[in-house]
Structure 1
């Protein structure tokens, strides 16, 4: 008699993983009893894909880089088709143990009794050595539930998504390609009567970027990103201002913060004219609604 489908599927997006990341992914698949779906956005060696399949993972690919939004949607569709009720989303750098998945399952079960119903629950972010952890602003108007905190949004990596809620909220924006995908989806979830929660009792180190850019004068710090990704961040942030489900308080905050980030990034580049031109063009693309593959994408 066939076993019942696991209520949780694990979804991992990879892009040009190095040998250490491939080894960690293989070890994760071996240690995890839940089904694992890997989406290759490009660069996964054929031998590594074969090893993953041999260990029981399902490997998906569109034959090239379709961005994080498209990859996450492909994973979610595959998880639904496999009969899962939730999917835990991870990137190739995420060190998230199987027992932590169980903690998020329990947290999601606890949230079934609250209103609004949960769309996603994720771990507390921590900074990996030499990196900056993302910050999740608290959602106003909602109370904590023990160790669970209502937040405006959280990063997709480490997030346990309720797939019934996902079906109602809709897919991630593939035209955002990489940055702001999680933020827009969570704001949309809140606007449609679902909640996004952070479980503070468990944590996930984040390894975004290659170091941190800091300015004591401006009082800000940010991940040091490739130029194409910084451009995508600015473009998508500016475009999101026109979306009705993005709160006015967030638009006001971003309107004040984005110019400072752009200035800090430009200063870190040595005030190169080409960098300023790229960032300015990205803002213009956001204002004009020109989304899709970011300019300068390798």
Structure 2
């Protein structure tokens, strides 16, 4: 891949690659929000939960299969009113979210709740976020997204959302720098103005970059502390009492993508300087902790160092070692 310019545009897969496996829903009487779910190699329990969600959810549900969803399960979801999309290959989280957003807008939805295949988010919680977004309509800046308070699933680490400086709370709503996409209710009119998620980030940092871009373009990101979503990122937690940090235990390709995208994001003008300084201090500690957890293997260190170089040179896209 050629090096990207510092202000490289936001890329997304062409419309021709997004192949719907079911026709648009026949009913025009849809709730104001649609639900979008990304899946990648879901296991039997995740597929069962997905089926149950679609059957219980009155809102239009759009599923993007990044690979591994059995054809019979896709057909079952379609028969229950869901719309199943696929590009025939893994196009990453950013590309999948953009395909879902386009499909939701075409179906007439005004808002889109984003979920991953692990998210256990009840329909009444969706209604709570819809009410929160409605409360923020008169806020300045207007809202782009509102999401739940992150909780840690057993044995996992919850993400932390830094507070956005200079803005007061609105009751249970807290302005934050960014939110994880899973559990976030996105205003699709704001999305159209802010622009799509970065498909070239592929998997990590997609939500962070988009929220910083939202703030820079005059929109806000808010956390509703009155409802929570457990997060199941990674396979356990890596901790260091000496360094005073902990982080999810991720596959090597994901850790490398995280480093690469974080380093690349430093060159983007909408990423605040305070965040760049924080990351500049934190990323080396995370890389050291990850390498130690991997047994100080030279190959791991080489891939992490290569990811930093890729970020500095703007070499994005699918990360090396992607399964």
TM-score (norm. length: structure 1): 0.99
Could you tell me whether the CA contact under 8 Å between 1:6 and 1:83 is conserved in 2?
no
Q: CA deviation at 1:4?
A: 2.8
Q: Deviations over 1:44-72 (max 9, x none)?
A: 00111011011110000000100000000
Partner Cα distance (1:231, 1:75) in 2: 26
Match of 1:63 in 2: 88
Partner residue of 1:164 out of 178, 181, 189? 189
Deviation at 1:89, TM superposition (A): 0.2
Task: Classify the secondary structure of the residue corresponding to 2:322.
Answer: coil
Q: 2: CA distance between counterparts of 1:114 and 1:167? A: 19
Are the counterparts in 2 of residues 127 and 206 from structure 1 also a CA contact under 8 Å?
yes
Q: In 2, Cα distance between the equivalents of 1:134 and 1:266? A: 21
Aligned pair partner of 1:286 in 307, 311, 316: 311
Task: Count the aligned residue pairs.
Answer: 298
User: SS at 1:33's partner residue?
Assistant: coil
Unpaired runs of at least 5, structure 2: 1-25
Written as runs of structure 1 = structure 2, the 5 A alignment for 1:169-208 is: 169-208=194-233
**Structure with more relative contact order (C-alpha pairs < 8 Å, separation 6 or more):** 2
* Aligned match for 2:61, one of 22, 25, 36: 36
* Cα distance in 2, alignment partners of residues 194 and 143 from structure 1: 15
CA distance in 1, matches of 2:70, 2:302: 36
Report the CA distance between 1:113 and its aligned residue.
1.2
Q: 1:217 aligns with which of 212, 231, 242?
A: 242
Match of 1:240 among 265, 271, 280: 265
Would the aligned equivalents of 2:30 and 2:59 in 1 still touch at CA under 8 Å?
A: no
Supply the RMSD in Å over aligned alpha carbons: 0.9
The residue aligned with 1:135 is 160
Residue 87 of structure 1 corresponds to which residue in structure 2? 112
Distance 1:240 1:68 in 2: 17
Aligned counterpart in structure 1 of residue 40 of structure 2, from 8, 15, 34: 15
Following the alignment from structure 2 to structure 1, what is the Cα–Cα distance between the partners of residues 232 and 108? 31
Structure 1: which 5+ residue stretches go unaligned? none
In structure 2, relative to structure 1, the CA distance for the partners of 1:153 and 1:2 (3 Å cut) is closer
Cα deviations by residue, 1:236-266 (Å, 9 ceiling, x for unpaired)? 0000000000000000000000000000000
Distance 2:73 2:42 in 1: 10
8 A Cα contact 1:14 1:91, kept in partner: yes
C-alpha distance in structure 1 between counterparts of 2:28 and 2:73, whole Å: 28
Output one character per residue of 1:246-294: Cα deviation in whole Å (capped at 9) or x when no partner: 0000000000000000000000000000000000000000000000000
CA distance in 1, matches of 2:286, 2:81: 43
Q: 1:47 aligns with which of 68, 72, 75?
A: 72
For the residue of structure 1 that corresponds to 2:250, the secondary structure is coil
- Residues in 2 aligned to 1:276 and 1:4: alpha-carbon distance in whole angstroms: 54
How far residue 2 of structure 1 moved from its aligned partner, in angstroms, is 5.8
Q: TM-score, normalised by structure 2?
A: 0.92
Return the alpha-carbon distance in structure 2 between the equivalents of residues 290 and 132 of structure 1.
29
Within 5 Å, which residues of 2 pair with 1:95-134? 95-134=120-159
Structure 1 consecutive aligned stretches of length 4 or more whose deviation exceeds 4 Å: none
Rounded Cα–Cα distance in structure 2 between residues aligned with 1:82 and 1:65 = 24
User: Quick one: distance in 1 between partners of 2:31 and 2:103?
Assistant: 13
SS at match of 2:108: coil
Q: Is this contact kept in 1: 2:136–2:143, CA < 8 A?
A: yes
